[in-house]
Chain A
Amino acid sequence: MSRLWSFLTATRGRDRLHWTDWVSYGYLIFGVLLMFGPVVWLVLSSFKSPNELDRFPPRFLPYAQETLEIEGFDSPLLAFIVTEGELTGEVVGQTRRAAGRAEVVLPADPETRIRIPADTLAPIEDVAFATENYTSLFERFNFLQFFWNSTFITVMATALMLLVNSMAAFVLSKYEFRGRTAVLLLVIGTLMIPQTVVLVPLFLIVTEMGMFNSLWGVIIPGAATPTGVFLLRQYMITIPDEILDAARMDKASEWKIFWRIIVPLSAPAIAVLAILAIMWRWNDFLWPLIVLTRTENFTLQLALNSFQGELQTDWPSLLAMTVLTLLPIACVFMFLQKYIATGIASTGGK
Chain B
Amino acid sequence: MARVELKNVKKSYGVAEVIKGIDLDIAHGEFCVFVGPSGCGKSTLLRMISGLEPITGGDIRIGDEVVNRVPAADRGLAMVFQSYALYPHMSVRQNLSFGLENINTPRAEIERKVGEVAKMLQIDMLLDRRPKDLSGGQRQRVAIGRAVVREPKVFLFDEPLSNLDAELRVEMRGEIVALHRRLQNSMIYVTHDQVEAMTMADKIAVLRLGRLEQFGRPLDLYNRPDNLFVAGFIGSPKMNFIRGRVSGSDRTVMELETGERLTLPETGFAQQPGEAVTLGIRPNQLRAGEDGPITLEVATIEQLGGDSYLYGKLRNGTGITLHLAGQTSVRIGEVIAITPEIEAVHLFDSETERSLRLA
Contacts and interface: CB of A to CB of B under 8 A. Distances in A.
Interface of A: 240, 242-243, 245-253, 256, 260-261, 264-265
Given A251-B73, A251-B102, 6 more contacts: A243-B85, A246-B79, A246-B86, A250-B73, A250-B98, A251-B103
Contacts of A249: 50, 52, 72-73, 77-79, 99
A243 B73 contact: no
B285 interface: no
A250 B102 contact: yes
A265 B102 CA distance: 19
Chain B interface size, as a band, is 20 to 34
Q: What are the 9 closest A-B residue pairs judged by CB atoms, nearest first?
A: A250-B99, A242-B85, A246-B85, A251-B102, A251-B73, A264-B89, A242-B81, A249-B79, A243-B85
B208 interface: no
A249 to B, nearest CB: 5
Interface in B131-169: 146, 150
Contacts, number: 59
B272 interface: no
Nearest to A261: B87
B81 A246 contact: yes
Contact of A245 (B81, B98, B102): B81
A245 B27 CA distance: 26
Contact of B89 (A248, A250, A265): A265
Given A264-B89, A265-B88, A248 B73 contact: yes
B89 A251 contact: no
A247 B87 contact: yes
Interface in B93-134: 98-99, 102-103
A246 B102 contact: no
Interface string B48-84: 0010100000000000000000011110011101110
A318 B36 CA distance: 75
Given A264-B89, A265-B88, A252 B83 contact: no
A248 B52 contact: yes
Contacts of B71: 248
Interface of B: 47, 50, 52, 71-74, 77-79, 81-83, 85-89, 98-99, 102-103, 146, 150
Contacts of B74: 251
A245 B52 contact: yes
Contacts of B47: 245
B67 to A, nearest CB: 14
A249 B52 CA distance: 8
24 contacts: A242-B82, A242-B83, A242-B85, A243-B87, A245-B50, A245-B81, A245-B85, A246-B86, A248-B52, A249-B50, A249-B73, A249-B77, A249-B78, A249-B79, A250-B98, A250-B102, A250-B150, A251-B74, A251-B102, A251-B103, A252-B99, A252-B102, A260-B98, A265-B89
Contacts of A264: 89
Residue among A248, A253, A256, A264 facing the most chain B CB atoms (10 A cut-off): A248
A260 B95 CA distance: 11
A223 to B, nearest CB: 26
A235 to B, nearest CB: 14
Contacts of A251: 73-74, 99, 102-103
A261 to B, nearest CB: 6
Contacts of B103: 251
Contacts of B85: 240, 242-243, 245-246
B71 to A, nearest CB: 8
Contact of A252 (B50, B79, B98): B98
A256 B102 contact: yes
Nearest to A252: B102
A252 B87 CA distance: 13
A5 B81 CA distance: 50
A248 B47 CA distance: 12
B129 to A, nearest CB: 17
Contacts of A248: 52, 71-73
A261 B89 CA distance: 8
Contacts of A260: 98
A246 B52 CA distance: 10
Contacts of B88: 243, 265
A252 B89 contact: no
Nearest to A248: B72
A217 B47 CA distance: 48
Nearest to B97: A250
A175 to B, nearest CB: 13
Nearest to B147: A249
Contacts of B78: 249
A248 B78 CA distance: 10
Given A252-B98, A261-B87, A264-B89, A245 B79 contact: yes
Contacts of A252: 73, 98-99, 102
A83 to B, nearest CB: 74
B83 A240 contact: yes
Nearest to A239: B88
